Structure formats: structure tokens, C-alpha cells
Structure 1
Amino acid sequence: MGNQKIKQFVIENQIKEISFLAEKIEKIAEEWDLSPTLAMNLNLVIEEAVSNIIFYAFPDKAKHEIKISVSIDKQILTIIITDDGIPFNPLKHEQPDINLPAEERPVGGLGIFLMSQIMDEMEYNRKKNENILTLKKSI
């Protein structure tokens, strides 16, 4: 367990928090000596997942917290994103047909496809009225 590293932070369900998140991920990447490509990909994945939550999870428009945990243990990088929004399993949504020309593709949905290309494992759980999205990548 000695080499496990973990960072946790909480943001509000405001789209402006995305840039704050990007800064956090860049700092983590520097501290943990992750490659710039990996850092960029992690940012893409987290931005996609969190913006989905911000846009879709909270129909009441009230303030909610989104918790993000990033950890690394034995070359496995794990991202866990938790929110108390309505049940939403992003992994159940159809993968886009990337062979369609852009103008014929449905809006959205590309994010989950991108996430699945970047990460090795994606898992969704619903526990205690919370959505828990766990993303793993071997590095």
C-alpha cells in the first residue's frame, strides 16, 4: 500500500468548475509524474463525465456537490466520480455511430465513446442515492 497516492476534491454542479478541475488534474499529473498525454486524456474523461453530471443529474437546479477522487496504486489509475443526482448510468447509453458524418450524428454521446477509448475499465453503481462512476486505466 506504500505507493498508493490519492487526491480528492469536491466541486459544485456549476459548469465554471470544469476549468478548476482541469487545473487540479494538471497539478496531480505533475506531482505524480504522469505523461502530458495521459494528463490530457484524464482531463478529457473527467470533463466529459462531470459536464454530463452538471447538465443532466440535477433537474432541481439547486446546489449539489460532485465528489472526485483520483488515485494511483501499482500502475492502476482510478477515478471515482460521485454525485447525488437522479440515477443516470452513462454506460447504458448507446455508443455513437462514428462512421456517420458529423452533421448526422445525434448530439452528445460521443463523450462516453471517447471515455471508453481512453479508459480500460468503466463501472457504474448506484448506492445510497448516489451515482458512482469508477474509471480505471493501467499506466
Structure 2
Amino acid sequence: MKELVFKPIAGRTEEIIDAILQTGEVASCTKELYAIHLVCEELVVNVVSYAYPEGVEGYLKIQIEKADGCITLKFIDGGVPFNPLERDMPDVSLPLEERQIGGLGIFLTVQMMDKVSYEHVGNENILTIKKKIDDEK
């Protein structure tokens, strides 16, 4: 398992996303890379932007494991407890001008990953995403 740790995280969104995508575990998932990239971008932006109150130096740990035909990424932060899976999913059948703002990132995450789960353990938010991978290049 690979673990990346970032502290502080303010202003480091692109650096964090790039570091995730450059790990051997993620970079080797060529067929799934677009979905993983999009989801990681959404999740990292949300943690950096919303997990911590203004003025609080936050951290983000990402644990990455590639095994048994799947890649699993855990996003762990010590921010305000928040389960994004409890939000109402946006109604994507509505015309754009009638949709409410927000929620599309977690909707895309749930749609593009094979499993998404959340838990709050020891004052940490842990959002886990899992994607089946095709190791044939």
C-alpha cells in the first residue's frame, strides 16, 4: 500500500492531484485513468475547499492499494465530520437552469466508481473509493 500525506493542504490542490496520478498504482490503470483522475480531482478539491474551517491548517492522507483486480483509494482528513453520501443526489434529468448548484461531484464519484463508502473514525473522515481494473493494456 502506498500512502501520501499532505500538510498543510491550502493552495496545494493541483500538487496533491498530480502526486496521486503519478503513483505507480494509479498510473498503471491506463483504461481507468480518466475516471480515477476525475474523481480524485473532485474529492481533493472538496477536502481542500471545505473540510477545515478558515485559518485551520489541515491535512489529507491518501492510501492507495492495487490488488485483486481493483484499485482502492482512501481519502482521510481531520476536518469537520461530513458524509457526502448522505446528501441528496442531484436530479440530472432536470434542465440545467432548473438544477440546484452542488452535489454533482459526489454524484459523478458514485457513478464512476464501483464502490464508494464513508466512515468517521477517531476524528477523521474516511472516504473510500474502489474501481475494478483491467490489467490488460
Q: CA separation of 1:32/1:111 partners in 2, compared to 1, >3 Å: closer, same or farther?
A: closer
Structure 1 stretches of at least 4 aligned residues deviating more than 3 Å after TM superposition:
29-32
Match of 2:48 in 1: 54
Is 1:24 aligned to residue 16 of structure 2?
Answer: no
- Matched to 1:19, the amino acid is E
Is 1:43 aligned to residue 37 of structure 2?
Answer: yes
Partner SS, residue 23 of structure 2: helix
> Which segment drifts farther, 68-77 or 17-26?
17-26
| Per-residue CA distance 1:20-39 (angstroms, 9 max, x = gap) | 1332233225875221x522
Offset, 1:104: 2.0
Q: CA separation of 1:73/1:30 partners in 2, compared to 1, >3 Å: closer, same or farther?
A: closer
Is 1:10 aligned to residue 8 of structure 2?
Answer: no
- TM score, norm. by length of structure 1: 0.85
Offset, 1:40: 2.1
Match of 2:96 in 1: 102
* Count of aligned residue pairs for this structure pair: 132
- Rounded Cα–Cα distance in structure 1 between residues aligned with 2:131 and 2:120: 21
| Per-residue CA distance 1:9-50 (angstroms, 9 max, x = gap) | 122332x32211332233225875221x52221121111112
Percent identity between the two aligned chains: 38
- Rounded Cα–Cα distance in structure 2 between residues aligned with 1:107 and 1:61: 26
**Aligned CA-pair RMSD:** 1.8
Offset, 1:92: 0.5
Match of 1:80 among 67, 74, 77: 74
- Matched to 2:13, the amino acid is I
Is 1:134 aligned to residue 120 of structure 2?
Answer: no
Is the Cα contact below 8 Å between 2:5 and 2:59 reproduced in 1?
yes
- Rounded Cα–Cα distance in structure 2 between residues aligned with 1:81 and 1:30: 15
Is the Cα contact below 8 Å between 2:25 and 2:65 reproduced in 1?
no
Ranges in structure 1 where 5+ consecutive residues have no aligned partner = 1-5
- Rounded Cα–Cα distance in structure 1 between residues aligned with 2:121 and 2:25: 33
Is the Cα contact below 8 Å between 1:29 and 1:39 reproduced in 2?
no
Partner SS, residue 109 of structure 2: helix
